[in-house]
């Protein structure tokens, strides 16, 4: 797995992202949440994460460059605009 470049410019609508985050908040919205699929691990906090990083990570899940079954399934359903909007929302969240 390579490093994620932050060269792409994330341009999304945070208000639109707030309406699209239901599939994210189930895991990423619970502080100290741990999941058991596909193995037990702590789910990373994405609130406040750099928006460009979020977009690149979602793109990498969608293409299979990053491998996680749940994230790949979620990312595969997202358009580029969805990714940008979610990144804008989580980039401003605390």
Domain ranges of the chain: 14-92
Residue 34 is predicted with a pLDDT of 76
pTM for the model stands at 0.81
- In the predicted model, what is the mean pLDDT of residues 79-90? 97
> Mean pLDDT across the chain, nearest whole number?
86
Q: Residue 70: helix, strand or coil by DSSP?
A: helix
Sign of CA dihedral 91, 63, 30, 86: positive
What CATH superfamily classification does 14-92 receive? Cytochrome c-like domain (1.10.760.10)
Between 27 and 18, residue with greater pLDDT: 18
Pick from 4-8, 67-71, 85-89: least confident: 4-8
Residue of 61, 27, 65 lying closest to 45 (CA atoms):
27
Residue 30 is predicted with a pLDDT of 77
């Amino acid at each position: 797995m390579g490093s994620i470049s932050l060269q792409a410019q994330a341009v999304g609508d945070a208000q639109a992202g707030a309406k699209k985050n239901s599939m994210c908040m189930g895991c990423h919205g619970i502080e100290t949440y741990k999941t058991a699929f596909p193995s037990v691990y702590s789910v990373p906090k994405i609130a406040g994460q750099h928006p460009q990083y979020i977009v690149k990570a979602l793109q990498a899940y969608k293409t299979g460059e990053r491998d996680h079954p749940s994230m790949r399934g979620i990312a595969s359903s997202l358009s580029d605009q969805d990714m940008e909007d979610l990144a804008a929302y989580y980039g401003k969240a605390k």
